[in-house]
Structure 1
């Protein structure tokens, strides 16, 4: 078993590693202090079984880190181990692709239970926190006809391909098409095509609206 711990606090990485070694003495434990380092590990380790990710990493806002890891390795489950403990954030994390969520303050048996649950293929949330059913999409009436309201943000973001998600993250950083093309090593026309698809799938009409609509990814501002 190969587990990757992604956290920018060395003492917590050490504590988490210690707890995991007790539960899984034969596991190979890998560490990364940020999303960039985690992506590097994922590129070299093709047989990861689980990633344990802190949402509060420096240089990563809201669910961006989670989405980045999900685009790099969609089949590797990600268990959030975070100081955030709001049920709303826990539910949103699962809607954005996490396989489970456990607060950092839990004891070792609970952490072991969470890891085992996710490794078995099930979702994990702390007792008392449920994954609410998808929101009902209401219809509003205007100008004499009914209009279908936008789907929830997580559903619209989920329509994007991994490459479109990467373009989205760079748009949120304020980068222009030429800069995005350079960063992703693709042509300008390819970036334009991705932006057009992002606009369509997010149901917006401008780059500014992309940033506004995806503000929900920054859970502290949502």
Structure 2
């Protein structure tokens, strides 16, 4: 029987948003809250505050970091933030379109880059990749006068019609997470088994739950059984 001890409401996904503009922090916070039903947001308006908070806040899933903070230059500031972050993945959120700057951020250790001119849905693509240990860093296009151009993405995929269709459409890693969940393992145990951060497992489970239209682990297990899909080990 699948345990329902760790529901989304008990274990929110926690992000640290670092930007010296309050309105930008608000926008990123709103974007995350719209995409994840259970999310905790920690904010910092300066590099110094961000360093303090990353050291005092446990279980951060990821950091969204503005490259141009008012109390540091972009290069040394990023280095200091990455050093403080340790194993917590950091995504640079910046308005720069300089591909050399973007590349230097990744070389320094950032796990992702999201341009401020992108549509908010880009976060949906970036977060699972980054939390699973990958790198998300598309170079944003620019107009002839150098201004950033909004990247229009296609509309979201049409809702699936059945549990079977939903499960069969999952990625290999999502199916692996689901298989371990059906064995009764906790998020922490699944993360340890797959060698990834616990925050990565939370993202995968939320994605699967949204796709199947369920709200907790028990409903997820029942929907999978109803779909008649065998998740081989």
TM class by smaller structure: 0.5 to 0.7
1:113 maps onto 2:125 in alignment: yes
1:163 maps to none
2:99 maps to 87
**Residue 11 (structure 1) shift:** 0.6
**Residue 128 (structure 1) shift:** 7.6
**Residue 111 (structure 1) shift:** 2.2
**Residue 24 (structure 1) shift:** 1.5
1:48 maps to 60
Gaps of 5+ in 2: 1-12, 142-233
How many residue pairs were aligned? 129
Residues 97 and 40 of structure 1: CA distance in aligned 2, closer, same or farther (over 3 Å): same
1:30 maps to 42
Question: Normalising by structure 1, what TM-score?
Answer: 0.55
Distance in 1 separating the partners of 2:40 and 2:102: 27
2:74 maps to 62
Asked whether the 8 Å contact 1:20–1:112 carries over to 2, the reply is no
**Residue 127 (structure 1) shift:** 5.9
**What SS does structure 1 have at the residue aligned with 2:64?**
strand
Distance in 2 separating the partners of 1:45 and 1:7: 17
1:11 maps to 23
**Residue 25 (structure 1) shift:** 1.9
**Residue 86 (structure 1) shift:** 1.3
Question: Normalising by structure 2, what TM-score?
Answer: 0.53
Could you say which structure has the greater relative contact order, defined with CA pairs below 8 angstroms and 6 or more residues apart?
A: 2
In angstroms, what is the RMSD of aligned CA positions?
A: 1.6
Gaps of 5+ in 1: 130-222
Q: Describe the superposition over 1:89-139 as per-residue Cα deviations: whole angstroms up to 9, x where unpaired.
A: 11110000100111101001112211222112210011689xxxxxxxxxx
**What SS does structure 2 have at the residue aligned with 1:63?**
helix
